[in-house]
Amino acid sequence: MAVTSPQIYAWLERYAGIVAEQKQYLTGLDAAIGDGDHGINMDRGFQTVLVKLAPVRDKDAGTLLKTTGMALVGSVGGAGGPLYGTFFLRAGAALDGKTEVSDRDLVGALEAGLKGVVERGKANPNDKTMVDALTPAIEQAKQALDNGAPLEQALTAAADAAEKGMKATIPLKALKGRASYLGDRSIGHQDPGATSSYLMLRALSDSLATLPQRATTTTT
C-alpha cells in the first residue's frame, strides 16, 4: 500500500481550506497571548501555496511538499513562516522524487519535518508551542505502525494525540515565542501554533480517510 502524490496534494488543499475557515479562530487565540496575526499569516501563506502548487500538482510528493515549504517561507513571515516552511521543506526532502509513499516514509517525512522545526525554533516540549502538538502525534503514529496498524489508523491516532497535546498547552506557561513575554499571563490560553499544527494533522488523517484512491493502481 502506498500514499500517492495526488493524496498529498489533497491533504495540502484540504489544510489550506481549513486554515481559511479557521482564520479568525487562530487569530483570536493569538490575540490572547501574542500579536493576533497567526490566522491571517497562515491563510496568506496557504493561499500562496495553492497558487504555487497549481503548476506542479502532478509532480512527486517531494516536489509538492518542498513547493509548499518555499511558498510559506516567502509569504508568511513571523515565526510561522520559517517554522512551517522548514517543516514542509524537510518533509519534502525526505520524499524527494517519490510519487508513491510508503506508510513508513510518510511518517518518517513528518518526523523529519518536526526535527527541522525543533532545530529552527529551538523549542523543547512543554514550552507551549507547535512542538507540543507535533511531538506526541508523531510518536503515536510510529507506535501504531510498529503495532501493525494500517496508516489511516496511525494517522487518526496522530491527530488525536496532537489534539490532546494542543489542549495540554492551555495550563502551560509559554517559554518560547512572543507569548513568553507574558509570563504567568500566558497560562490558561491554548497555543495558536499547537492549534494550527493539530489542524494540519487532522487534515492529513481526514484527507486519507475520505479519498478512496489509496491504492497501487493508477487512476484516470
Partner 1 sequence: MAQTTVTTRLKKLINTPETEVKDAMAGMAAAHADLIRVEYDPNVIIRKDAPRKGKVGLVSGGGSGHEPMHGGYVGLGMLDAACPGAVFTSPTPDQMARATAAVDGGAGVLHIVKNYTGDIMNFEMAAELARGEGAKVNAVITNDDVAVQDSLYTAGRRGVGVTVLLEKIVGGAAEAGADLDAVTALAKKVNANGRSMGMALTSCIVPAAGKVTFEIADDEMELGIGIHGEPGRERTKLKAADEIAEILTSTIVKDLPYKRGDEVLAFVNGMGGTPLIELYVIFNAVNRYLTGEGIKITRSLVGNYITSLEMAGCSVTLLKLDAETTKFWDAPVHTPALRWKV
Position among 12, 26, 61, 83 found at the interface with partner 1 (CB under 8 A):
83
Q: Provide the β-strand partners of residue 3.
A: 101
Contact window for partner 1 (CB under 8 A) among 104-112, 157-165, 181-189, 196-204 = 181-189
Q: Which is nearer to partner 1, 73 or 155 (CB)?
A: 73
Chosen residue from 32, 149, 168, 187 binding partner 1 by CB under 8 A: 32
Quote the least distance from Cβ 182 to partner 1, whole Å: 6
What are the residues whose beta carbons fall under 8 Å from the beta carbon of 77, sequence distance 6 or more? Answer: 41
Of 5 and 48, nearer to partner 1 (C-beta) is 48
- 115 forms part of the interface with partner 1 (CB under 8 A): no
Q: Which grid coordinates are listed for 128? A: 507551549
Q: How far is the CB of 117 from partner 1 (least distance, A)?
A: 10
Residue 171 touches partner 1, criterion: CB under 8 A = no
Q: Which of 147, 150, 170, 185 binds partner 1 (CB under 8 A)?
A: 185
69 binds partner 1 (CB under 8 A): no
d(CA 26, CA 73): 19
Residues 1-30 that bind partner 1 (CB under 8 A): 27-28
Q: Does 119 bind partner 1 (CB under 8 A)?
A: no
Tell me, by CB under 8 A, how many residues bind partner 1: 34
With contacts defined by CB under 8 A, name the span among 74-82, 95-103, 154-162, 164-172 that binds partner 1.
Answer: 74-82
CA-CA distance, 41 to 78, in Å (whole number)? 8
**Cβ neighbours, 10 Å, residue 47:** 15
Q: Which stretch binds partner 1 (CB under 8 A): 8-16, 81-89, 149-157, 202-210?
A: 81-89
